[in-house]
Amino acid sequence: MIDLRKRVFSMLGQKGNLKNIDVVKHFVLEGFKRSTVYDAIKCCEIGLPVEDRPRSGCPTSFNKTDLKRLQNEVENRVENSKKSIKNLIDFNRLL
């Protein structure tokens, strides 16, 4: 997403004679959705920075002991269900 924003910003800033629809057509041909390109153009017009701002909240943590426990559980017992594996590592704590 950031790569698309950078490219849209450079196209609009580089050639002032390009219209928004020309930029949209160019990126739609590359496979991007029309609404996504328009969102990037809107961010450019408003003056938002290209890079994402830091977000609030605690990052999820998955430490080495949880990883080893999960690997052992999955490798040794094929018949375990997803639910039992989730309960084993206490997945809700990680979210």
pLDDT at 25: 94
pLDDT at 16: 65
pLDDT at residue 3 above 70?
yes
Centroid of chain to Cα 18: 28
pLDDT in tens, 64-91: 887 787 777 777 666 667 777 677 666 5
pTM above 0.85, yes or no: no
Return the domain boundaries, the chain.
Answer: 2-46, 64-94
pLDDT in tens, 14-47: 656 788 899 999 999 999 999 999 998 888 888 8
pLDDT at 15: 59
